[in-house]
Amino acid sequence: MAQFEEVSQKSKLHPKPEGLALQYGTAGFRTDAKHLDHIMFRMGLLATLRSKKTKSTIGVMVTASHNPEEDNGVKLIDPMGEMVTAVWEGYATQLANTEQDSLLKELKDIIEKEDIDMSEPASIYVGKDTRPSGASLSRAVLDGVSSLGGKTHDYGLVTTPQLHYMVCCCNTHGCYGSPTVEGYYQKLSQAFLQLTQNKRLLVDGANGIGALKMREMEPFLRSKLQVVLSNDSSSGKLNHMCGADYVKVQQKAPQGMNMGVGECCCSFDGDADRIVYYYTDSKGCFHLLDGDKIATLISTYLKELLTQAGLNLQIAVVQTAYANGSSTRYLEDVMKVAVCCTKTGVKHLHHAAQEYDIGVYFEANGHGTVLFSKAAQKQIQELVKDPNTNDERKRAVKLLESTINLINQTVGDAISDMLVIETVLAIRGMSVQDWHAIYTDLPNRQLKVTVSDRRVIDTTDAERRAVTPEGLQDAIDSLVKKYKTARSFVRPSGTEDVVRVYAEADTQVHMIIMLIIYLNIFNCKCIFSVFMCRK
Ligand code: G16
């Protein structure tokens, strides 16, 4: 077939380094950008097959999100804006790792297994973040798509959530919004303007795409939100001493931000799909409001509105093992909402959240959103139109309706989440300090440790227990039982070549002792300082 002839020819321009093997990890492929050209070409091929199979537009985002600037990566986006399914993640890994001379065979195997009609058209949306390697890598994606006869729309520089949104808009034929960056700004800003009063916020753009897009969006917000942007991409390095991952892991403010006492601040990550909030008090203490606090704030607000509107919809919060124990206890015991725990990776949280009328999902690192089932949205819309609804119920249900429009339901979105948080704080008349005081986090810390092969660690129970290597979990258990409310786990990262270690305990001192013993268990180098703890 002529199509395969073209794949064969073009693939020679994107050769796979022999022996190199990469895995479709927590959020796609990620590694040093110089190893990725063949992966991009092949993901262009795979996205084209996925598009033909689903008869829908598929997204390909070239980004390594929170990783250092030298890395890059790629994520595939399914028709409704969600992450590609696990089966296709498997195909992605197979296709990425097959040697050059068996590429066509591998491609044909996928076509046969999935019974793909190759005469179907294919449409792929492509986007990239601001990494210098993004331009040539996204050209490799386009090459892959065109060699299988697919059509592309190259959006150029966009945030990851913007591309997810665009894919969903296209496949719902405009029902979710217009598939343009301007359409995204208009949808979110219109909902925001209906909901809130004038606010001021310090935003750390991580020297990434989120900063550029925030600037573009500002006119749409008509001064209702005065954004003071730092790490705005004009000079500093992407994610270097700034951004949501740095702030969350280091538990300190980013460099380059001029924070006044008590001022409300937030940080995006490198592709603007995560957000964390923070402030410094009059004693100079830094206070972090991470994904757990965000989930609590938003779910409390939604629960109140449901009660006021008289709607009987089930609301649940989805977390991961990284969720602070205090947040889980608060949600279950005080707020009485269902809480469930999944493996790390928004793809897992997203699927769990789809099981509820309203699923609020946030990883502690600030990656998350809220999903409303179709039935829940229908009930809300019907109640808005019902002439017999009294004023209090009408107000509540209208707020719910506008909040839905403010949320990017396709994936965690720093810009959308920021607008939701600002709205909730304004409507509930809360300061960032009031929000922080809802519950007190247990002292906690996350470390990255390097080991020779992180894949020797296998986990179970939503990554809360290590199955291998033998003896590791026993060592953790005997350590944890010495301290009150202590909890700890270890898991291999799916985006970096490190092992992540998490510990929390009733006091800062206990938590630090646990981590020091941990380092002995691993007998390896700690990348981040254990002692850079909060005051
Ligand atoms: C990605 C995923 C997140 C995950 C994070 C870290 O975030 O989308 O769900 O929490 O990686 O994953 P791991 O601990 O496996 O390295 P991002 O913002 O980098 O795309």
What ipTM goes with this model?
0.96
Stretch 299-311: mean pLDDT: 96
DSSP states of 451-501: -S-GGG-EEETTTTEEEESTTHHHHHHHHHTTSTT-EEEEEE-SSSSSEEE
* Ligand 1 mean position, distance from CA 32 (Å): 16
pLDDT reading at 291 higher than 90: yes
Instruction: Tell me, using a 6 A CB cutoff, whether residue 239 lines ligand 1.
Output: no
- Residue-wise pLDDT for 227-268, tens only, equals 999 999 999 999 999 999 999 999 999 999 999 999 999 999
Q: Does domain 444-522 have CATH number 3.40.50.11720?
A: no
Instruction: Tell me, using a 6 A CB cutoff, whether residue 410 lines ligand 1.
Output: no
* Ligand 1 mean position, distance from CA 158 (Å): 18
CATH class belonging to 2-171: alpha beta
Delimit the CATH 3.40.120.10 region(s) of the chain: 2-171, 196-288, 291-436
Q: How many CB atoms lie within 10 A of CB 260?
A: 10
Ligand 1 atom with least separation from CA of 30: 19
Q: How far apart are CA 6 and CA 45, in angstroms?
A: 11
Q: Which two tokens stand for residue 388?
A: 């017999």
pLDDT reading at 333 higher than 50: yes
Q: How far apart are CA 131 and CA 21, in angstroms?
A: 23
Pick the catalytic residue from 11, 65, 123, 233: 65
The yes-or-no answer on residue 488 being catalytic is no
pLDDT reading at 197 higher than 70: yes
Dihedral sign for Cα atoms in the order 178, 180, 186, 189: positive
Q: How far apart are CA 321 and CA 496, in angstroms?
A: 18
Instruction: Tell me, using a 6 A CB cutoff, whether residue 463 lines ligand 1.
Output: no
**Residue nearest atom 6 in ligand 1 by C-alpha distance:** 495
Using 50, 70 and 90 to split pLDDT, how confident is the model at 174? very high
Q: How far apart are CA 339 and CA 351, in angstroms?
A: 14
Q: Can you name the CATH fold of 291-436?
A: Alpha-D-Glucose-1,6-Bisphosphate; Chain A, domain 3 (3.40.120)
Which DSSP letter does residue 331 get? I
Ligand 1 atom with least separation from CA of 26: 15
Q: How far apart are CA 415 and CA 412, in angstroms?
A: 9
Using 50, 70 and 90 to split pLDDT, how confident is the model at 522? low
Q: How far apart are CA 376 and CA 311, in angstroms?
A: 9
pLDDT computed for residue 484 by the predictor: 85
Delimit the CATH 3.30.310.50 region(s) of the chain: 444-522
CATH class belonging to 196-288: alpha beta
Using 50, 70 and 90 to split pLDDT, how confident is the model at 3? confident
- 473 vs 275, residue with greater confidence: 275
